Structure 1
């Protein structure tokens, strides 16, 4: 059973165990729960002194560092919305997110003030509302937000929310805005139940935050780790070897990762992997992109039965499962969470038959809207259920299996081909570092599948490898699913959370003038 909600939570732990280490930054600097709580409380009062009121938004453009947690926890007890912005964004991208979120205050790392400053200048954003972590010319030092105010939490704490943006695979990203909860911040039984399904519980654990915190899942899991009393170790885009070193050095028990990292880990030479002790790991959570079954099998072999997985989106979470469950249901993304209903609907909006593919819908754990886009909100809903546009099926026991995103389908001769399935087969070949499958126009079939492959460094791109990959696919896939051609590239475009930018792959293919 989950621990009582009044005995856990960041504030409760800071009060009862202030000397427990909360955050270890990339340079090794530790911050205790007591120290972090004092900074969070002073920042909350600084927001109020600056004129921010419940419902206002704060934008943060930061690499993985302690200030992210200060901002998230402070907005979370001040009734404010926090919009994390990618620190890899361009001037136009940063400007769009700040403008669209209607942020009243912007915090940026000093290393990013040139880009962020240009974006804010273009918006006419007031200089007095710009704060730089570490200080920067023309910006107010972030520490001034925490100075000149009294200690202690807000007199009337009110829960805030993160207003994250969708990944924007089609069109501009949209903010997912949830109503502010009533009363002070608290961990809900739903959240505790979800964490327990992933074998993540309160206690003296160590959480490795290796993914970009501005993304929904890495930021949420790392913040929840603090709510559960864990120590969070911060890293910025570690290599697989770095990841293994951090796990061993800090005795990491919990982390969030993406299939790309799992793929790279299992491809490391055995002597490199075996040189590191990973026995402390208890829950390695992955999500965000399809994980080929062959890669997941190998990752379980390498790390042990510690892989956990969930399916969801910025809008909500639907299912979860452990390694033991996955091994009995290979390829599944889990069973519905308590209180969450999952339906798979056919083209006519009726429930698909068991095992039949259709559009996946599920109950949002909390109501939401796409900011300033009622039409998009309505189009994503059906009978109170939400869909991210994914295609999947339910088996006879109610476990969910994903096929692909509807926008990624390749329809060849009237038959649906799911790129993720073909990519998973390609990824299992030892010469393949990464792979994408796209549909290209075909006068006879409408579309044909073409594989774009990034070879491993020791593999040679060319006709012999292309033929070997097609033969490999034929050994596993039905003939109609086998790519009609294989093209090679140095690297495929992916977001920092591991999502394939398939639209960019298509654009690059068209720009190359390939006629294969």
Structure 2
């Protein structure tokens, strides 16, 4: 039995993961058998080591079972966002060169015309018996031999960026030909930082097709822990799961914290979350006030990190460190951190610029040498396009994405500053600050606000929000106008599709 890594004597009946809504449980013994079957089916389908497989699936037991099988078949596996259009999915499938695609038919873009947009040579399987014209993946795997292959090889994910600033990019790491079941770079990185191990009971509230939920969930299971997978995020349900299943670890994005804190105080405080030892959060910087409120409630257990799907570097910060460096996302724990100007030249501590890493893992963007080259400076250091500053002690403070910076009258404005203020207003559920056209200044600052109660929208509240922001921040950084939106276009992992919002004002 290859699972888990550090506990070879683990009881095969111990639960490896559980689905929150359906209640389905998969033991380590069952996962081992299913992974062997998946690996064998891929070989039968002619997928050789180093080739590609893709999944278009919502969170389910079959999702993780498939990934663990691919992880020992020596293939690249691409998990695709279920929020994409059929054309976007078709592009990713063609771009990664997938030989097999697994389809869950509860995905919105899957309809009668969907298959016509896919490459003709692609082998497609349905996971849940809804598309009668496709062979059943579940039946095919159920019938396969469940003994391990003689040469199980370590697979590797090749995930696509969320596309919040443009077309998704396939992030490709070099694949080392090694036997499956050993310690990987991710296991070695994440285990000591977050205390993952056989006693860990981990809550995964986000879509598994995204990098962090998938990688952390698989790492916890590989180390003998149990993962509770939410089919979809709900703030109250998440608190109930922590209480009822005595969960010890979890991973969040700041918007989830906001959703939890917006619950009525008496409701949220009735849940016992005392078993939670480590609450990891990432994907976007957390507003200071939000994090302080969470730690006042949960205690000093919030551990933050900064990294991208590319994993070219990694910063992390403990709750104790953060209280001394509020607003920081930590110091480099993988790679060496640098702040550089637009020409790639390093800047001194305290100055703002692009965040670069050196000496981190190597990556490239699949089939896109130009965009890969754009991430490198003359020294070979890599950047993901985030702007930040580093203090004298090496702690990084993120300011915003380079693509989202507003230039008004020649002055650089970072929207995140105003967003962090406005989200603290009791009537605001979500907010995005963007630059909109201005004849005199080129751009001006506008807030797009989703309210707790949409009926509060109106000129009076718009002015109240502007005044509220100006009471905390320099006026030139604050919105000059406010639009109300019933639902901001936010990825389930917490990332905002700000380009979509900005395009509303520029593509007229």
TM-score bracket relative to the smaller structure? over 0.9
Cα distance in 1 between the residues matched to 2:389 and 2:237: 37
- Deviations, residues 344-382 of structure 1 (Å, cap 9, x unaligned): 002332211211100001137422211111111111112
Query: Which residue does 1:398 correspond to in 2?
Result: 394
Contact in 2 for aligned 1:412/1:448 (Cα 8 Å): yes
Cα distance in 2 between the residues matched to 1:312 and 1:348: 22
Shift of 1:45: 1.4
Query: Which residue does 1:345 correspond to in 2?
Result: 340
Query: Which residue does 1:4 correspond to in 2?
Result: none
Aligned: 1:387 with 2:360: no
Aligned residues: 503
Corresponding residue to 2:255 among 255, 260, 271: 260
Check 1:76–1:365 CA distance in 2 against 1; reply closer, same or farther (3 A cut). farther
Cα distance in 1 between the residues matched to 2:330 and 2:111: 40
Shift of 1:80: 0.2
Query: Which residue does 1:372 correspond to in 2?
Result: 367
Query: Which residue does 1:204 correspond to in 2?
Result: 199
Cα distance in 1 between the residues matched to 2:384 and 2:364: 13
Contact in 2 for aligned 1:94/1:119 (Cα 8 Å): no
Aligned: 1:109 with 2:95: no
Aligned: 1:20 with 2:33: no
1:315 aligned counterpart, secondary structure = coil
Give matches, 1:418-429, under 5 Å. 418-429=414-425
Query: Which residue does 1:232 correspond to in 2?
Result: 227
Contact in 2 for aligned 1:412/1:445 (Cα 8 Å): yes
Check 1:114–1:190 CA distance in 2 against 1; reply closer, same or farther (3 A cut). closer
Corresponding residue to 1:142 among 121, 137, 142: 137
Shift of 1:432: 1.2
Aligned: 1:287 with 2:277: no
Contact in 2 for aligned 1:240/1:261 (Cα 8 Å): yes
Aligned: 1:64 with 2:59: yes
Shift of 1:441: 2.2
Once the two structures are overlaid, the 10-residue window that deviates more, 237-246 or 87-96, is 87-96
Query: Which residue does 2:116 correspond to in 1?
Result: 121
Aligned: 1:448 with 2:439: no
Query: Which residue does 2:45 correspond to in 1?
Result: 50
Cα distance in 1 between the residues matched to 2:479 and 2:386: 22
Once the two structures are overlaid, the 10-residue window that deviates more, 137-146 or 32-41, is 137-146
2:110 aligned counterpart, secondary structure = helix
Cα distance in 1 between the residues matched to 2:235 and 2:434: 28
Once the two structures are overlaid, the 10-residue window that deviates more, 419-428 or 117-126, is 117-126
Cα distance in 2 between the residues matched to 1:10 and 1:145: 25
- Deviations, residues 464-483 of structure 1 (Å, cap 9, x unaligned): 21222122112211232122
Cα distance in 1 between the residues matched to 2:302 and 2:485: 30
Cα distance in 2 between the residues matched to 1:491 and 1:428: 18
Aligned: 1:271 with 2:269: no
Once the two structures are overlaid, the 10-residue window that deviates more, 185-194 or 396-405, is 185-194
RMSD of aligned Cα (Å)? 2.1
Cα distance in 2 between the residues matched to 1:114 and 1:88: 8
Give matches, 1:318-357, under 5 Å. 318-338=314-334, 340-357=335-352
TM-score of the pair, normalised by structure 1:
0.92
Check 1:244–1:168 CA distance in 2 against 1; reply closer, same or farther (3 A cut). same
- Deviations, residues 359-418 of structure 1 (Å, cap 9, x unaligned): 001137422211111111111112232111000000010000000011111111221110
Cα distance in 1 between the residues matched to 2:445 and 2:109: 43
Contact in 1 for aligned 2:58/2:107 (Cα 8 Å): no
Cα distance in 1 between the residues matched to 2:228 and 2:199: 13
Contact in 2 for aligned 1:9/1:187 (Cα 8 Å): no
Once the two structures are overlaid, the 10-residue window that deviates more, 23-32 or 416-425, is 23-32
Once the two structures are overlaid, the 10-residue window that deviates more, 9-18 or 147-156, is 9-18
Check 1:458–1:43 CA distance in 2 against 1; reply closer, same or farther (3 A cut). closer
Shift of 1:486: 1.9
Once the two structures are overlaid, the 10-residue window that deviates more, 483-492 or 260-269, is 483-492
Once the two structures are overlaid, the 10-residue window that deviates more, 481-490 or 35-44, is 481-490
